[in-house]
Amino acid sequence: MSNLDIGIIGTVVALALIALRVPIGLTLGLVSIAGIAAMFNLNVAWGMISATPFDYVGQWELSAAPMFLLMGFICSATDMTRGLFLSLRLYLARLPGGLAITSVGACAFFAAASGSSVATASAMSRLAVPEMLKQGYDRGLATGTIAASGTLGSLIPPSVLLILYGVYAQVSVGQLFMAGFIPGVLSALIYMAMIVIRVKLNPALAGATPAPPTEAERREALRDVWPLPTLIILVLGGIFSGAFSPTEAGALGAFFAALIGAARGKLTRAAVVEAVTQAVSATASIFIILIGSLFFTRFLALSGLPTAFSNAILSVSSDQWWILFAVAVIYLVLGMLIDSIGLLLLTLPILVPLVQSTGIDAIWFGIIVVKLLEIGLITPPIGLNVYMINSALNNEVTLPEIFRGIGWFLVMDLLTLLILILFPALTLWLPSLAY
């Protein structure tokens, strides 16, 4: 059996084990060790295990991920989104679907402070969905809005997925953050426009129109708006101006999130324990998948599968549009079965060599990939954000209702993806200004 055959069999076995819900990090590691042992011997496989993990996980750039996760979980544990949400609700209440539009805006702001789609969906589902249901919103629209808007945490900087892509593809994380800003805002605006149009055509989706707030209520709501925007300006302003690196921004963001929480009297012992525990758990999960992915990369490189895959794609056509179409199909299909971080790290060993060989801009490609991963977060049957919302609401809204609610948002995501592919300048303009 040739090395290429072993590589193909190993990839098929890995996908089968992942489909059976075996943890992705464990799957990639075991398949890689068995594959390398089959190609060479067990000593070679053991040598990789003993030398590789520390060298990779010890990279300085990766320390940004746990810092941004900690910042996001501190924001969630100290209820930093509530004031912004309540204020936006009062100012946008008269728009068709105003509460859903408010939820999209609040998710976008929280995404810019957390870097995590799951954290965004979890925090906002407990805050926004009960408010929408109380006002008589359609259950599918209420939960679908949060499930889809939660994915903005993957694209709006700081994003953990962009950090992982940048480290793996050897692309500047700072440039990726800049590149993700306009596509992330565009996604949010398209969601809002769709909600307005749908509610205009069918007002029953948004229940009764609330009474207009008084000026006193608006002024009162503005008092607690400052925490999240202040943190976002500090972190993104520092990165975009070059004042500090993404890693330094993550550390400062977590520190100032704690300071703001303490200043508001929300940083209790329980909040600290909750935020740190969640950040440690999420970081450990990501790093285990990272190590397994690194093993898998070495295994595939030795098998020659990435080169064979690139040649197979290019044998059909070397046109950029064909390559992007093939990549989109891969992510849309696998995104139904595998969570975003696992899918990213599973596919990069095969796709990065293809992108490098064809000259596609790595930053633009990274944003396209992350947008495809966003779609996977709400695509049945897995849809991690959907399950997160179902759990956060204690099954008050059923999974079929939530999946029904994300239908129109999926269509908007595909529209946004098409716009980003047709107009690369939307992605590359900000990085070109700074670099």
Q: Which of 9-13, 76-80, 139-143, 404-408 has the lowest average pLDDT?
A: 76-80
pLDDT at residue 412, rounded to an integer = 96
Q: Which of 135-149, 204-218, 296-310, 405-419 has the lowest mean pLDDT?
A: 204-218
Judged against a pLDDT cut of 70, whether residue 95 lies above it is answered with yes
Band of residue 60 on the pLDDT scale cut at 50, 70, 90: confident
Collect contacts of 335-338 with beta carbons under 8 A, ≥24 apart: 335/372, 335/373, 335/375, 335/376, 335/377, 335/379, 335/382, 336/376, 336/379, 336/380, 336/381, 336/382, 337/18, 337/19, 337/381, 337/382, 338/18, 338/24, 338/376, 338/382
Integer angstrom CA distances of residue 75 from 124, 355, 376: 11, 37, 25
pLDDT averaged over every residue in the chain: 86
pLDDT score for 337 = 76
Which range (199-203, 212-216, 283-287, 403-407) has the least confidence? Answer: 212-216
Q: Quick one: CA dihedral 221, 224, 226, 229, positive or negative? A: negative
Q: What is the pLDDT of residue 221?
A: 66
Kindly give, in sequence order, each residue whose CB lies less than 8 Å from that of residue 281, ignoring residues fewer than 6 positions away: none
Range of lowest pLDDT (54-63, 268-277, 356-365, 389-398):
54-63
Angle at 417 between CA 414 and CA 420, to 5 degrees: 155
Break the chain into its structural domains and give their ranges: 60-434
- Residues 156 and 185 sit within 8 Å (Cβ to Cβ): yes
pLDDT, tens digit (0-9, with 9 covering 90-100), for 292-335: 888 888 888 889 888 888 888 888 888 888 999 999 998 988 88
Q: How far is CA 142 from the centre of its chain?
A: 20
Closest CA to 120 of 211, 167, 188: 188
pLDDT (0 to 100) of residue 52: 67
Residue 359 region by backbone torsions, left for phi larger than 0, else alpha for psi between -120 and 50, else beta:
left
pLDDT of residue 51: 66
Token pair recorded at residue 228? 């999240």
Give me the pLDDT at residue 90, please. Answer: 80
User: What span, in angstroms and rounded, lies between the C-alpha atoms of 105 and 62?
Assistant: 29
- CA–CA dist 288, 345 (Å, integer): 11
Tell me the percentage of the chain whose pLDDT exceeds 70: 94
Question: 162: which residues sit within 8 A by CB, 6+ positions away?
Answer: 154, 155, 173, 176, 177, 180, 366, 370
Query: What pLDDT does 76 receive?
Result: 82
Question: Which residue, 412, 402, 395, is CA-closest to 380?
Answer: 402
Structure tokens at 152: 């903005």
pLDDT score of 420? 96
Q: What confidence score (pLDDT) does residue 377 get?
A: 86
Mean pLDDT for 255-260 is 92
What's at 311, amino acid-wise?
N
